[in-house]
Structure 1
Amino acid sequence: MEFKLAMILLLILSCTRLFSATTDCHDPLIFNFGDSNSDTGGYSVANGIFGGNSPVGRKFFHRYSDRFCDGRLVIDFLCANVKAELLSSYLESLTPNFNSGVNFAVGGATVLPVKSNSFHLKVEVAEFHRFHARSVIFHTEGIKGMFDEDDFQNALYMIDIGQNDLTGAFLNSSSSKLEILQQIPDLITGIKEAVETLYKIGGRKFWVHNTGPAGCLPNMLARTKVGDPRGERDGVGCLKSLNEISQEFNTQLYHLCEELRTELKNTVVVYVDIYTIKYDLISNSALYGFENPLMACVGCGGPPYNAVMCEQTTVCGEDTNYISWDGVHYTDRANGVFAARIATTNYSTPPIKFESFWC
């Protein structure tokens, strides 16, 4: 009898929690930090680029979209999945839309500072710190569209960065594989410090993408010189050593996320295995209806990579099914596949649905 009563009470408690979870929902609010894989305008604004006749954005937007893609990025698909408005760059001055959050990502950004780029993770977090402080003040003054402390605490903080650190080091011909591997702990420390700073400001929900198979990027394949000891290909045709470097970065990032879940109280830290998702599409491209998996849609040189540097680039037709857009970034269709795989939670640790952060 006591056992049955306990089970009934447990069932009632579970139903109460479920009801609360499904009714006490918040409008999606996302703050994103990263590089060109999730940049929705930062690079274009910072460098005064406005497109002209560029094929960028020809799908979905049907105009220059300030993205490194012919259409949508993974973050655009994820926002659409939770009915959030597409994120504007923090740097955008012309009709920015911050209703569903802010995008601090900038193309070319790295985890650690480099001479060739003013934007790195610490700068992006500093920009957020300013946005947070000013928004809270303006909210108390009654200015519409600003967020309060509760909003920031209920928001999701997305991080997708590290690719440029790894590829930049790899393109330095004097860097051996071992030397690049030895730099990874510093990158992980940089990401850890960023999350800890965001936590101190109020962040409690984190969504962290690992880095993709950089050795499969047509740009990296085309730029690896003949005779380079790091140029060995795997069975798919990707650079074996660079992918191994990416995998080591991901292993250490995975352990960091485990560590953060323990160290930071009342937090959720989701690690998303983007590497496996992307490598699966590239290695099984025909099954997904794609062609030329290691060849860029936009570029020069023709097969096998169409990714050498030149002034007059060629562009594949809109009806073609390429995975790589420009040798470094992915096409709208490929990004749609990636987002759909993310939505399954099969590649997330813990397996939490993206939309569950607001309900």
Structure 2
Amino acid sequence: MNPILSSLFALSLLSSLSPSTHAHQCHFPAIFNFGDSNSDTGGLSAAFGQAGPPHGSSFFGSPAGRYCDGRLVIDFIAESLGLPYLSAFLDSVGSNFSHGANFATAGSPIRALNSTLRQSGFSPFSLDVQFVQFYNFHNRSQTVRSRGGVYKTMLPESDSFSKALYTFDIGQNDLTAGYFANKTVEQVETEVPEIISQFMNAIKNIYGQGGRYFWIHNTGPIGCLAYVIERFPNKASDFDSHGCVSPLNHLAQQFNHALKQAVIELRSSLSEAAITYVDVYSLKHELFVHAQGHGFKGSLVSCCGHGGKYNYNKGIGCGMKKIVKGKEVYIGKPCDEPDKAVVWDGVHFTQAANKFIFDKIAPGLSKACKRQ
């Protein structure tokens, strides 16, 4: 079934909360993912050094390129579609791209930043760079695959690109980068239209390469993450009743509103595209506000970290070690029950939280499959 479709599904808070279902009716042969650390399966690790232990400890048993104790939402999406976990495009060791590729890297923004990773902590692989990587992969993979042999089994078929699901989870770093550069929240807000414009260009470019099925996550409540909270002035009026920074959450909501409007415009201009807008902000905010009601013990406090009110210190990251009495010991050590924590390291979510989020968006994925 291959009709020309144009669809938008806005998945909002509790109205869509239902158990996960496997999308057996899907026939997406591949996933091509673009984004930041929320969906990075090894890109930044391949480029700048591996994310060490205890990352990966809850599922993979060892570091697996993810800034998490286990699986990410993109991993659960791949599982539900019956596809293998995505190999990072930048990782040449043990990768198999027959069912897609992951161009996401931790710290990636939509808009290129005029700084290095060491200067700012943000990745140089912005969304425009990720598109160039995809463009080259699209063309070169078919040239190499035509050689046959092992190449035929490790690279996608030519029609996979038009039938694939294109997933996006990016934008968080554009907002935090501006704020961390000492801009006011209001100043960052004025930059949102340009950021969204560049995002739209990326979608149009991928559409021009044959992409037709798009799954777009909005950005989460960044004001509830320790790495943002710790940098915000301790002004009581700026914090909501749950301890989150209201101005930063408002900024995320403004970005999401603009993103949703952009998706509506894209539906109109890209007549053959089926586009799903996924409201993960509401789901993540629900976790922060009602953590205990969903089986979690805490929300703002990091599972893996060191010190302070939120078990977070930007100078002592998750997994950091030091020598104590001749022995190497963790300073940034993980908590005993990561499956009861919402936040893994002050920046990223735990596997348990990612599973919660996936379970709530899975019905929307099933709807997208039916319109394939």
TM range (shorter): 0.7 to 0.9
Query: What does the per-residue CA deviation read over 1:317-353, in whole Å, with 9 as the maximum and x for residues that have no partner?
Result: 13661100000100010000000011133xxxxx863
Displacement after TM superposition at 1:185 (Å): 0.4
Are the structure 2 counterparts of residues 132 and 318 from structure 1 closer, same or farther at C-alpha, using a change threshold of 3 Å? same
Query: What does the per-residue CA deviation read over 1:274-322, in whole Å, with 9 as the maximum and x for residues that have no partner?
Result: 100100111010101112211111112243x111233432321136611
Matched with 1:210 is 218
Count of residues paired in the alignment: 326
List runs of 5+ in structure 1 lacking aligned partners.
Answer: 1-21, 346-350
Larger Rg: 1
Structure 1 Cα separation of the partners of residues 219 and 51 of structure 2: 28
Displacement after TM superposition at 1:125 (Å): 0.5
Q: Is the 8 A contact 1:110 1:120 kept in 2?
A: yes
Structure 1 Cα separation of the partners of residues 339 and 88 of structure 2: 30
Displacement after TM superposition at 1:25 (Å): 6.3
Matched with 1:338 is 357
Matched with 2:367 is 353
Structure 2 Cα separation of the partners of residues 60 and 33 of structure 1: 23
Q: 1:135-150 residue pairs with structure 2 within 5 A?
A: 135-142=141-148, 143-145=151-153, 146-150=155-159
Q: Which amino acid aligns with 1:160?
A: D
Q: Is the 8 A contact 1:85 1:99 kept in 2?
A: no
Matched with 1:155 is 164
Are the structure 2 counterparts of residues 246 and 137 from structure 1 closer, same or farther at C-alpha, using a change threshold of 3 Å? same
Does 1:259 pair with 2:258?
A: no
Q: 1:108-127 residue pairs with structure 2 within 5 A?
A: 108-114=107-113, 115-116=115-116, 117-127=123-133
Q: Which amino acid aligns with 2:49?
A: G
Q: Secondary structure at the match of 1:102?
A: strand
Matched with 1:306 is 311
What is the alpha-carbon root mean square deviation over aligned residues? 2.1
Q: 1:5-84 residue pairs with structure 2 within 5 A?
A: 26=27, 28-49=29-50, 51=52, 54-84=53-83
Does 1:179 pair with 2:187?
A: yes
Matched with 2:245 is 239
Does 1:165 pair with 2:174?
A: yes
Structure 2 Cα separation of the partners of residues 344 and 197 of structure 1: 28
Q: Secondary structure at the match of 1:236?
A: coil
Q: Secondary structure at the match of 1:269?
A: strand
Are the structure 2 counterparts of residues 204 and 300 from structure 1 closer, same or farther at C-alpha, using a change threshold of 3 Å? same
Q: Is the 8 A contact 1:32 1:104 kept in 2?
A: yes
Displacement after TM superposition at 1:178 (Å): 1.6
Are the structure 2 counterparts of residues 289 and 25 from structure 1 closer, same or farther at C-alpha, using a change threshold of 3 Å? closer
Q: Which structure's relative contact order is higher, taking Cα pairs within 8 Å and 6+ residues apart?
A: 2
TM-score, with length taken from structure 1: 0.86
Does 1:197 pair with 2:205?
A: yes
Matched with 1:19 is none
Query: What does the per-residue CA deviation read over 1:54-75, in whole Å, with 9 as the maximum and x for residues that have no partner?
Result: 1100111111111010000000
Structure 2 Cα separation of the partners of residues 319 and 36 of structure 1: 18
Displacement after TM superposition at 1:50 (Å): 5.9
Structure 1 Cα separation of the partners of residues 363 and 278 of structure 2: 11
TM-score, with length taken from structure 2: 0.83
Q: Secondary structure at the match of 1:294?
A: strand
Q: Is the 8 A contact 2:342 2:353 kept in 1?
A: yes
Structure 1 window deviating more from structure 2 (25-34 vs 62-71): it is: 25-34
Displacement after TM superposition at 1:77 (Å): 0.8
Q: Which amino acid aligns with 1:167?
A: T
Displacement after TM superposition at 1:149 (Å): 3.7
